Amino acid sequence: MKVLVATNHSQGSEDTDFCETIENELVIIPGDCLDEDCVCERGCDPSFLGLASGQRTTTTKIVNRPDLHRSLYAGLVAACLVRLGLIGCHGACEDCRWMLEGHLLDLDFLVGPGQEHDVIRRLGCDYSRASHSAGLG
């Protein structure tokens, strides 16, 4: 399964870059703003969220994790969201299942067209992709 993991690669190439996560940690896109100082007009968090650390980063890369499948990944996301108090169950209710499906769709949107080791940067509501084959890996 192709997933996004935190990376320090290319950190600092944008003034707004930061990385508080663990290198190679699985990440998600927070659905709601976790930052009280967010200036994005849509209220989204301008970063990715580490599943293990609960910390944020603006840079990720695509990796292939053959040990993961969709249901296991959804379970890891659910555990993170429960731990952070963003959902109250592990996907048992309809609202939580809807939120988990949204995270899977976000992942598909970002990694689907990408190649392994492509760097994806989040800048507020916008994303940029740098190809590994362009010398960024």
* % of the chain at pLDDT higher than 70: 81
pLDDT tens digits along 2-32? 999 999 887 777 777 888 899 999 998 876 5
* Helix, coil or strand: residue 46: coil
Least confident range from 4-8, 37-41, 110-114: namely 37-41
Burial 48-73 (b: 16+ CB within 10 A, else e): bbbbeeebbbbbbbbbeeeeeeeeeb
Question: 61: closest CA among 135, 126, 2, 1?
Answer: 2
pLDDT digits (tens, 9 = 90+) for 67-90: 999 999 988 988 888 888 777 776
d(CA 55, CA 20): 5
Write down the pLDDT at residue 61. Answer: 94
The backbone torsions φ and ψ at residue 116, rounded to the nearest 5 degrees and listed phi first, read -55, 135
Determine how many CB atoms are found less than 10 A away from the CB of residue 112.
9
User: Could you tell me the pLDDT band of residue 94, with boundaries at 50, 70 and 90?
Assistant: confident
